[in-house]
Structure 1
Amino acid sequence: MIKKLEPNQKVLMHPEVGKVILKKNPRSKRVTLKVKVDGSIIVTLPQSLPYKKAEPILHQNIAWVKVQLKKVKESQKKKLLSFDSRFQVRTKVLRILPHDQTTMVAKGREDKIDLLVPKTWKIASSEVQEQLQEAMIEILRQEAKYYLPNRTRTLATQKGIAINTIRIKNVKTRWGSCSSKSNINLSLYLMLLPDSLIDYVILHELAHIKHQNHSAAFWSHLENLLPGAKQLDKKLNGYRIPFL
C-alpha cells in the first residue's frame, strides 16, 4: 500500500522490509534505489513517472535491499559505545569506564584518557550514546589542537614549505584539505590514526600547496616529500572512524 507523505514523496509499506520512501526528483532520468546508513530505504523516480512504477523495481531488488539492511545493523552494533570500548589516541588509550558519580567526566593521564560515565546510566540508549560521542569528539579535538598544528609546522619547516593558517575541524568525510591560500585544514579524527598515517595526511596536504590536484606531478612531488606515499595512501583507505 502506498501512503501520501508530503509533496513529491510517498511511503510504501513493504511486507518484507517495512517502510520505503518514494521520492520524485525533476532531475532524475531513471529510477534509483538506495539504502542509507541509518537503514532508511529510498526509491527516487523521475517527476513524470507514476509512483506505482517503484513497486516492481523494489520487488526485483528485494534480496539486495535485505543484504544492505543486514550490513547497516551490523555496522550499528559495531559502533555502539560501551564500558568495554577502547580507542588508541596516538600514545594514549581512551577508555570508557563506569563510576559512582552522577555526571560524566573525562580524566587524562600521561598514557590514558578515561571517560567516566555514571554506572546507573543506560549506556546503550540513544541519549547516552549521543552524549558519549560528543564527549569523545571533544577529547579528540583537544588532543588534535595540542599535537597537529605543531607537527604540521615541523614537517613544513623540514620540507621548506610555507604555510598560512592551520585549522582543526570536525570533518568526517576527509582527513584533511588545503586551500589555494595555503591554509591547511585537518580532521580531529586524525588522532585515531597511527603516527605514520598522520604524517602522510599532513604531507599530502602540504604537497597540495604546489599542486592543487591529484595529477601525476602531484604524486611525484608527494613521493619526493615522503617516499612510499602511494602505499601509505592505500593503507589509509582501510581506516574508518570507529564510533560514528
Structure 2
Amino acid sequence: MNAKYYYLVDNDIGKIKIVQKNGLKNFNIRLKPFEVVTISSPASASKKQISNVIARKKKWILEKQAFNKSIEQKRTVFEHRTTIKTFFNQFTIEQKDTDRMRLKGKRPEYVIAVPENFDIKNPAFQSGIKNIIDYVLKDEASRYLPERTKELARRYKFRYNNLTFRNNKTRWGSCSTRGNISLNIQLMRLPAMMIDYVIIHELCHTIHPNHGQGFKKLLYSILPEAPHIEKEMKNFRTQIY
C-alpha cells in the first residue's frame, strides 16, 4: 500500500504525523508511548477532512496521550546498585573511584563503573549507561537471534529474505513486503517465549502483511498461547528496563 506522509502541529496535541495511503478507506489513529501521534488517512483525504477528524477525536487523543505520558515517565533512571538482567548477562551499576565510565567484568556478570564524584542521574551518564548496555545487547542479538530465526523458520516452513537488527524505541520487530525481517536488540531483555513470539509474529508477516484474520489464524495455529503472551508483553517496554 503506497503511502506519503507529512507533519502538522496542533496547539493541544502537539506534533502529528499524517500518513496518506492509497487504498485506505477509513482514518486510523495510532497512539503509542514514546511515539508521535500518527493518523493514517485515505490518499484522497483533504487537509480539511483530516482537521475535522482531529477535532472530532481530540478529547480521546488527549486522554490517550495523558495515559501514555504516565508510561513514559516510568522510563528507567539508572542509579547506584541498579541491576539490569538480559537474556545472557547481568549488569550492576556501581559508583567507584574511576575517572570515567567503564565496563568491567566478563560474561555473564558485568559492572558498569561510574565516577563517584559525579551525579549519576545526569543525562549524559544516563545515556552513557544505556549505550553500554545496548552495546552488549547488540552482541547478544547477533549471537542468538539469527540461528533462532532460522530454526523457527525451518520448523514452521517459513521463508524470509534478510534479517537485520535495530534499536527502535517502540517496535520489537517488523517485516517488509519483501520478506525482510528486522528485530529489536531490546528483545534480548525478554523471556525466551516472548522472543520466539516476536520472531514467529514477523515470520507470519511474510505470508500475511497485515494483522487481519488470516494472520491471526496462522499465528494462533502455531502458538495457541499467543493471546496470553501478547497480554504479558504489555508489561514490557523497550525504554523501561
- TM-score, normalised on structure 2? 0.67
Q: Which residue of 2 aligns with 1:151?
A: 148
Contact 1:97 1:114 in 2 (8 A): yes
Q: Which residue of 2 aligns with 1:169?
A: 166
Q: Decide which of 188, 192, 195 is 1:198's aligned counterpart.
A: 195
State the Cα deviation string for residues 218-238 of structure 1 (Å, max 9, x = none).
111112222211221121122
**Residues of 2 paired with 1:130 and 1:167: CA distance?**
24
Q: Which residue of 1 aligns with 2:180?
A: 183
Structure number, greater radius of gyration: 1
Q: Does 1:135 align with 2:132?
A: yes
Q: Does 1:114 align with 2:111?
A: yes
- What are the within-5 Å matches in structure 2 for residues 1-244 of structure 1? 76=73, 79-107=76-104, 109-243=106-240
**Residues of 2 paired with 1:194 and 1:217: CA distance?**
27
Structure 1's 211 and 163: CA in aligned 2 closer, same or farther, altered over 3 A?
same
Instruction: Please list every run of 5 or more consecutive structure 2 residues that lacks an aligned counterpart in the other structure.
Output: 1-7, 19-32, 35-47, 49-62
Structure 1's 182 and 107: CA in aligned 2 closer, same or farther, altered over 3 A?
farther
Q: How many residue pairs end up in the alignment?
A: 194
After TM superposition, give the deviation of residue 202 of structure 1 in Å. 0.4
Contact 2:138 2:185 in 1 (8 A): yes
RMSD: 3.6
After TM superposition, give the deviation of residue 208 of structure 1 in Å. 0.7
**% same residue:** 31
State the Cα deviation string for residues 10-40 of structure 1 (Å, max 9, x = none).
xxxxxxxxxx989899x9xxxxxxxx97xxx
Instruction: Please list every run of 5 or more consecutive structure 1 residues that lacks an aligned counterpart in the other structure.
Output: 1-7, 10-19, 28-35, 38-46, 48-63
State the Cα deviation string for residues 73-122 of structure 1 (Å, max 9, x = none).
x9647621111221220132222122322122223534323222222221
Contact 1:84 1:97 in 2 (8 A): yes
Contact 1:133 1:243 in 2 (8 A): no
Contact 1:81 1:243 in 2 (8 A): no
- TM-score, normalised on structure 1? 0.66
After TM superposition, give the deviation of residue 211 of structure 1 in Å. 0.7
